[in-house]
């Protein structure tokens, strides 16, 4: 009996240790989102320009035509799409283009990303967005959507620790990065596409709707593609709906004959937390109050900057103390001393050779110039905002002026810039 108790205690300790280790080895980024008419609106950075996009996990990356020039996209360079149209909904397109860089925070980013140029889509204009972003950009993270707090969490390589292991199910990825999950309606299992655009709970195509044995629910309205117009459709009410570990009763299921695949819509997000682990092909779903949600993120106040040193900083520190590009498109420096910022990476040989030289400069110009460094691998959004494509790139920022940008490791030239343009000697 004593031996069994010892084994149980050891097992619990190992489980706790494993959970702690997972949390410590998981990178986590949390971003706010807006919700308009049930749609998730993300603030993306495209070629250094901030723009709002709708998250459509059953869609593709797409741009409204008037934003092609605004987002600095070359209209004459086609995107490398495997498809010539949207796969899972009716959406009119003109052509494809290639986005130089696109990011959401520091965890979700892409270079040379293909996107469709949409034809007339008045509803997207009504939402005030530049276009649509699909799920393909999120394939390298575990994506968690919390509609109660209006937050998206991107973690890697594990789910957030508050998402419970016993509240998960298998899922499949299908062409164009669609996510297909098992959903049980009145005892029958359906393979449904997760569609964060669709405002309903369950919408079936004609073939799946014909198999449904629910009672008559009358007519409802469903949308097609991104159009604002809605069409009348039949519906049925099912007594029981099961998704992962969630059970729902008296669910109205709509029919949309134009759907290539039946979908589970964004109504599910109002019922609990949803996590998608693309790498492990798992979907998690649990009630909001099942576990306490704690975000493990580093804020601007946790970065300590000392005069005479080359200080590592984060995006949050940059926004708080250097320049907040979310509030002004024109560079407005917040500091009261000149600043030198080195964008670098560990794999960059010239960067590693430059760092000791910058450390010497930081000591030489102590109390006159603040020296900072940004890890380009960790701060993707900052690099995207300033179109940093080569490393090292160094910013020299005078107190009342715009950044002087230099590429390459040339310390002698940097000393001259500091002396003549930052300190005016």
Cross-strand bridge partners of residue 342: 373, 394
The CA-based angle 279-130-99, given to 5 degrees, is: 55
CB–CB of 58/77 below 8 Å? no
Element (H, E) at 11: helix 2-24
Residue 351 annotated among the catalytic residues of the structure: yes
* List of E strands, 224-353: 230-243, 246-255, 263-264, 273-277, 282-286, 310-312, 339-344
Q: Is 390 exposed, middle or buried (0-12, 13-18, 19+ CB in 10 A)?
A: exposed
Site of tokens 């230099």 = 406
Neighbour order of strands in the sheet with 393-397 = 310-312, 370-375, 339-344, 393-397, 404-407
Cross-strand bridge partners of residue 29: 154
Q: How many CA atoms lie within 13 A of 203 on its CB side?
A: 28
Give one DSSP letter per residue of 159-222, joined into a string. Answer: --TTS-TTSEEE-EEEGGGEEEEEEEETTEEEEEEE-SS--SSEEE-HHHHHH--PEEEEEEEE
| Dist CA 389 CA 392 (whole Å) | 9
CB–CB of 320/328 below 8 Å? no
Per annotation, catalytic residue among 181, 241, 351, 383: 351
Structural Rg of the chain based on CA atoms: 25
Among residues 175, 247, 257, 252, which one has the least CA distance to residue 220? 252
End-to-end C-alpha distance for the chain, whole angstroms: 81
Chain-centroid distance, C-alpha 193: 20
Residue 13 annotated among the catalytic residues of the structure: no
Residue 424: left if φ>0, alpha if ψ -120 to 50, beta else—which one?
A: left
Site of tokens 């099912």 = 238
- Tokens standing for residue 240: 């029981």
User: Between the CA of residue 413 and those of 111, 185, 247, 410, 418, what are the distances in Å?
Assistant: 31, 69, 66, 6, 9
Active-site residue numbers? 348, 351
């Amino acid at each position: 009996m004593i031996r069994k108790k010892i084994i149980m205690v050891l097992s619990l300790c190992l489980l706790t240790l494993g959970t702690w280790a997972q949390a410590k080895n998981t990178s986590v980024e949390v971003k706010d989102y807006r919700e308009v008419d049930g749609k998730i609106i993300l603030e993306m950075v495209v070629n250094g320009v901030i723009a709002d996009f709708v998250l459509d996990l059953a869609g593709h990356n797409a741009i409204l035509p008037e934003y092609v020039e605004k987002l600095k996209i070359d209209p004459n360079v086609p995107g490398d799409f495997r498809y010539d149209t949207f796969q899972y909904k009716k959406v009119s397109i003109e052509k494809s283009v290639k986005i130089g860089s696109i990011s959401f925070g520091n965890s979700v980013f892409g270079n040379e990303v293909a996107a469709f140029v949409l034809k007339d889509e008045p509803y997207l204009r009504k939402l005030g967005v530049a276009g649509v972003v699909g799920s393909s950009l999120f394939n390298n993270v575990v994506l968690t959507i919390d509609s109660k707090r209006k937050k998206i969490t991107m973690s890697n390589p594990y789910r957030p620790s508050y998402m419970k292991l016993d509240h998960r199910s298998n899922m499949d990825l299908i062409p164009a990065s669609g996510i297909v999950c098992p959903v049980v309606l009145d005892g029958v299992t359906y393979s449904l596409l997760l569609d964060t655009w669709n405002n309903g709970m369950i919408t079936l195509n004609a073939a799946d709707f014909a198999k449904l044995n629910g009672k008559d629910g009358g007519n409802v309205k469903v949308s097609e593609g991104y159009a604002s117009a809605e069409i009348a459709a039949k519906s049925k009410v099912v007594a029981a709906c099961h998704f992962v570990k969630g059970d729902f009763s008296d669910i109205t299921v709509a029919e949309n004959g134009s759907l290539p695949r039946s979908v589970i819509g964004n109504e599910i997000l109002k019922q609990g937390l949803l996590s998608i682990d693309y790498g492990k092909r798992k979907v998690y779903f649990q009630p909001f109050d099942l576990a306490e949600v704690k975000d493990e993120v580093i804020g601007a106040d946790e970065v300590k900057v000392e005069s005479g040193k080359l200080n590592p900083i984060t995006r949050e520190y940059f926004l708080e103390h250097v320049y907040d590009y979310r509030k002004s498109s024109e560079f407005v420096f917040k500091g009261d001393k000149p600043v030198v910022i080195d964008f670098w990476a560990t794999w960059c040989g010239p960067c590693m050779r430059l760092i000791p030289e910058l450390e010497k400069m930081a000591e030489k110009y102590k109390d006159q110039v603040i020296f900072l460094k940004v890890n380009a691998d960790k701060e993707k959004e900052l690099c995207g905002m300033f179109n940093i494509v080569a490393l090292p790139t160094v910013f020299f920022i005078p107190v009342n002026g715009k950044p002087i940008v230099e590429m390459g490791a040339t310390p002698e030239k940097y000393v001259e810039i500091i002396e003549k343009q930052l300190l005016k000697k």
